A and B are shown apart, each in its own frame.
Chain A
Amino acid sequence: MHRSDHPAISVSGLVVRYGDVVAVDGLDLHAEAGQVLGLLGRNGAGKTSTVEALEGYRRAAAGRLEVLGLDPQRPDDRTRLARRVGVMLQSGGVYPAMAPGEALRLFASYYDDPVAPSALLERLGLEDVARTPWRRLSGGEQQRLSLALALVGRPEVVFLDEPTAGVDPHGRVAIRAEVARLKAGGVCVVLTTHELEEAERLADRIVIIEKGSVVAAGTPAELTSEGGDAAARGGTGAGGGAGVAGVAGMRFGAPPGLDTAALAAVLGAAVEEIEPGQYRVADPGRPATVAALAGWLAERDLPLADLRTGRERLEEVFLRLTAGDRGGAREEEGR
Chain B
Amino acid sequence: MRAFRAQAAAELRLTARRGDAVLLNLAIPVGLLVFFSLVDVLPRPAHVAHAVTFLTPGILALAVMSTSMVSLGIATGFERQYGVLKRLGATPLGRPRLLAAKIASIAVIEIFQVIVLVAVAFAVGWNPSGPVWLAVPAVLLGTAAFAGLGLLMAGALRAEVTLAAANGLYLALLLLGGMIFPLSKLPGGMRDFARALPAGALSDALHGSLAAGGGVPGRAWVVLALWAVAAPVAAARLFRWE
Contacts and interface: CB of A to CB of B under 8 A. Distances in A.
Interface in B1-28: 2-3, 5-7, 10, 13-14, 17-18
A85 B91 CA distance: 8
Interface string A79-98: 10011010101011111111
From B5, B82, B242, name the one whose CB has the most chain A CB atoms within 10 angstroms. B82
A57 B89 contact: yes
Interface residues of B, number: 24
B100 to A, nearest CB: 14
A96 B13 CA distance: 13
A82 B92 contact: yes
B2 A109 contact: yes
A163 interface: no
A138 B3 CA distance: 28
A153 B92 CA distance: 9
Given A97-B14, A102-B10, A105-B6, A110 B83 contact: no
B164 interface: no
A268 B84 CA distance: 62
B78 interface: yes
From A96, A97, A105, A109, name the one whose CB has the most chain B CB atoms within 10 angstroms. A109
B82 A96 contact: yes
Given A92-B84, A94-B84, A97-B17, A109 B7 contact: yes
A107 interface: yes
A145 to B, nearest CB: 11
Contacts of B92: 79, 82-83, 110-111, 153
Given A93-B82, A95-B82, A96-B82, A110 B3 contact: yes
Summarize A's interface: helix, strand, loop or mixed. loop
Contacts of B83: 89, 91-93
Given A93-B82, A97-B14, A106-B7, A82 B94 contact: yes
Interface string A282-308: 000000000000000000000000000
A71 interface: no
Contact of A95 (B5, B14, B91): B14
Nearest to B83: A92
A55 interface: yes
B90 interface: yes
B242 A57 contact: yes
B7 A55 contact: no
Interface string A38-57: 00000000000000000111
A82 B90 contact: yes
B91 to A, nearest CB: 5
B93 interface: yes
B78 A93 contact: no
A92 B18 CA distance: 19
Given A82-B94, A94-B82, A109 B3 contact: yes
A238 B133 CA distance: 70
B87 interface: yes
Interface string A103-127: 0011101110000000000000000
Contacts of A95: 10, 14, 79, 82, 84
Contact of A89 (B3, B7, B86, B94): B86
Contacts of B3: 109-110
From B13, B14, B84, name the one whose CB has the most chain A CB atoms within 10 angstroms. B84
From A83, A97, A110, name the one whose CB has the most chain B CB atoms within 10 angstroms. A110
Given A95-B79, A96-B82, A110 B91 contact: yes
Contacts of A149: 87
Contacts of B90: 55-57, 82, 85, 87
B152 to A, nearest CB: 22
Nearest to B5: A109
A87 B86 CA distance: 10
Contact of A87 (B82, B87, B93): B87
Contacts of B2: 109
From A87, A93, A105, name the one whose CB has the most chain B CB atoms within 10 angstroms. A93
A334 to B, nearest CB: 11
A36 to B, nearest CB: 20
Contacts of B17: 97
Contacts of A110: 3, 6, 91-93
Interface string B91-118: 1111000000000000000000000000
A299 B194 CA distance: 95
From B3, B78, B91, B242, name the one whose CB has the most chain A CB atoms within 10 angstroms. B91
B105 to A, nearest CB: 13
B6 A94 contact: no
B159 to A, nearest CB: 11
10 contacts: A57-B90, A57-B242, A79-B94, A82-B91, A93-B83, A93-B86, A98-B10, A110-B3, A110-B93, A111-B92
**Closest 4 A/B residue pairs (Cβ):** A92-B83, A93-B87, A109-B6, A87-B90
